[in-house]
Amino acid sequence: MSLAGLFNARWPGVALFDLDGTLVDSAPDLAAAVDLTLEQLGRKPAGIEQVRQWVGHGSPILMRRALAGKADWKPATNGDEALFNDSLKLFYQNYQQLNGQHSTVFAGVEACLETLSGRGCRMAVVTNKPEQFVSPLLEQMGLEHHFELVVGGDTLSTKKPDPAPLLHAMEALQGSRGTTVMVGDSAADVSAAQAAGIPCVAVTYGYNFGRSVQALGADAVVDSLSELL
């Protein structure tokens, strides 16, 4: 599918966007919250470059990885589970204070959203970030007015790569598989879109656990969302 044909005056009617790593570089705030949590637990901080490799599957998985010190964490024992629960509570408290302080909007995002809004495209954010943090971050970044709907990682009983959040958003915005596109940065986004039966655009600059996005099978891969205009 060519970029020239992916967006035009009539299509898409609905666009679904991932948040972290697609619209907003939130890794600095996430890393600060993770590191503060680890320090409160008497552990060494992970650092932003490590945290960038762990983002994408929601806050619980992020903290699992932080406690393990690696992306490939193992299921916890009962004793570790208590530590995990404490760490997640601390992380939420820390991130609540930091959310948006050091985050920035990626280049090309605002131009893309403005153009789609002007064409009457209905838009939603579909993210694995807990819902309570999504709208405040969008407001802090000045992006909230573009979106009619937010679907967080805890809005439904499942999150990406399950297709349910995408299908929920598509139906809520009265889209169809022929008029809806997903825009994301990771395997979770592409897999969810494929399972939902809608095309997907993948960006190269986001958080895909250090892996190349070119091999994910997205319908288009771009270095900036401005390339879609």
Q: How do the pLDDT tens digits run along the chain, 229 residues long?
A: 455 567 666 678 999 999 999 999 999 999 999 999 999 999 999 999 999 999 988 899 999 999 999 988 876 654 588 899 999 999 999 999 998 899 999 999 999 999 999 999 999 999 999 999 999 999 999 999 999 999 999 999 999 999 999 999 999 999 999 899 999 999 999 999 999 999 999 999 999 887 889 999 999 999 999 998 8
Using the structure block, give the residue that is written with the tokens 């319908």. Answer: 219
Separation of alpha carbons 180 and 109, rounded Å: 18
Q: How many helices (H) and strands (E) does the chain have?
A: 9, 8
User: What's the pLDDT at 209?
Assistant: 81
Two tokens, residue 121:
């495209």
| β-strand partners of 125 | 17, 150
Q: Which residues contact 157 (CB under 8 A, 6 or more apart)?
A: 164
What residues act catalytically? 18
Two tokens, residue 199:
């095309």
**Reduced to 3 states, what is the DSSP secondary structure of residue 40?**
helix
Q: Are 168 and 151 in contact (CB under 8 A)?
A: yes
R_g (Cα) of the chain, nearest Å? 17
CA neighbor of 21 nearest in space, from 129, 112, 121? 129
Q: Calculate helix-pair angle for 59-68, 27-40, nearest 10 degrees.
A: 50
